Amino acid sequence: MEDKNTVIELQLQKHLPCHKARIKFLEMLIVSLIRTRTVVYSINAVVLNDAEICSNLRRIQRFFSEYRIDFDVIARLLMAINPIKGPYQLSLDRTNWQFAGENFNILCLTIIADGVSLPVLWTLLDKRGNSNQDERKAVIVKYIRLFGIETIECIIADREFIGQQWVEFLSTQPIKFYLRIRENLMVHHRSKELKVFWLFNNLPLHQVRYLDKPLLLNGQWVYLTGMKTINPKGGLELVIIATFQFDEKTMQVYAKRWTIECFFKAIKSASFNIERTHLSDQKRLEKLFAVVCIAFMWVYLVGEYQNQTKKIPVLTHQRRAFSIFRWGLDAINRALLFDKQIITNYSKLLTPT
C-alpha cells in the first residue's frame, strides 16, 4: 500500500501546502474511498492501511474533527487538475439528503465536462429547501475572486435559481446565463402582463420557439425560449429558458445542465455513497465533501485517460456502456489489485494542466 501511493502523495504536495504527514493521510483516505466506494468511517478504517482498525478509525475521526482545510486551496487544486479548457460552462445546482432526521443541503458550482460535471466550489446550506439569492451570488463572487470572470462562458441553472436580484447580478457582471423559469411567472408582453406559459402553450410537442425580442421579467430584460415536452411522469410540461442574449442554441446549452445531476449521482449511489455519512457537523461534512471531490476528480481523469487508450464500448443509439467516471473507477480498483505501475501512471494525471 505504501509504495503504491508514493506518486499520489508527491502530486498532492504540488498543490496543497500541508504537512507531509497530512498529505500522506489524505492520499490514503482518497485511495480508501475509491476502494470501498463509501464514506463510512468504520469501513474505510479496515482498508486504510495495515495498522489496527481502531487506530485507523481514530485517525479518520481526528482528521475531520481537528484538521483545518482551506477551501480556496481545494478549489484551486480542483481547477488546476480539471482537464477542460476554459472559458467554462458552469452549472449551479443544489443536492440534498436526509440522515437521522437531519437535512443536508449543498449548493454546488461545477464545470460541464463529458457526460458529467466537475466540482469547483460548494457551500453547505444550514437549512431545508432552496438556496436564496445572496447564497448564489456569494458562490459566484468567490469563483470570480479565485479564477476571474473571463473564465466563465456561461452559467446554467434550473427553476430554483431565479429572482430579480439574482438575474440583475448576472446581467450587471455581465455573465451569460441560461436559467429555466417557472411557467407561472409574469412577463410584460405587448403592453400587457401575462403568465409566461401563454407565450408557448400552443406549441406542438418537442418544437422549439425562440422569441427574438427581450421581455421584462421580474424587472429584468431577458430573451425567452420555450419547448413543450413530456416529463418523467408522462405528463405535458413546458421548458422555458431565460437568457442574457438571443441564442438559437439555447436548448442545446441548457440540456447540459443534467451533467451536474450525474455528478450528484456519482458521489451518492454510484460510488462514494456520501448519503451514508453519519456526520451532522457542518464543518466536518464540508471537509468530507472536499475529500470526495478530489477523489472524484482523480477518478474522472483516469476514466478520460483510459477512454483515449481503450474506448468505452458503445451500445445501441450511440450510448456508452459506462460513463467516463465508472470507466475510471473500475480502472483504478483493478490497478490497485493487480498492477502497481499503472497506479503510478494514473497518479501522474494529477499534475496541473
Average pLDDT per consecutive 10 residues, the chain (353 residues; last block may be shorter): 58 78 89 93 92 94 90 93 94 81 84 94 78 89 97 93 87 93 87 90 93 89 94 89 93 95 89 83 89 94 91 84 91 87 84 65
pLDDT at 4: 47
Query: What's the whole-model pTM score?
Result: 0.90
- Distance set, CA 274 to CA 57, 206, 278 (Å): 17, 36, 9
Locate the DSSP E strands across the chain. 88-99, 102-112, 117-125, 152-157, 177-181, 186-189, 192-195, 208-210, 215-217, 220-230, 236-243
DSSP lists the bridge partners of residue 217 as: 187, 220
- Chain-centre distance for alpha carbon 250: 21
What phi and psi, each to the nearest 5 degrees, are found at residue 320? -70, 145
C-alpha cell at 12: 498532492
Confidence (pLDDT) at 23: 87
Residue at grid coordinates 474522472: 300
Q: Name the region of 205 (left: φ>0; alpha: ψ -120 to 50; beta: rest).
A: beta
What is the set of domains in the chain, with CATH numbers?
6-68+281-347 (no CATH), 76-261 (3.90.350.10)
pLDDT at 2: 43
Across 231-314, the runs of DSSP E, i.e. the strands, are: 236-243
Burial of 184 (0-12, 13-18, 19+ CB in 10 A): exposed
Q: What pLDDT shows up at residue 56? A: 94
pLDDT at 5: 47
Q: Could you report how far apart the first and last alpha carbons of the chain are, in Å?
A: 27
**DSSP 8-state assignment for residue 314:** B
Q: Looking at residue 247, what DSSP letter applies?
A: -
Helices (H) and strands (E) in the chain, counts: 12, 11
Q: Write down the residue that cell numbers 499503472 correspond to.
A: 342
Q: What's the CA gap between 15 and 73, in Å, rounded?
A: 8
The pLDDT assigned to 192 comes to 83
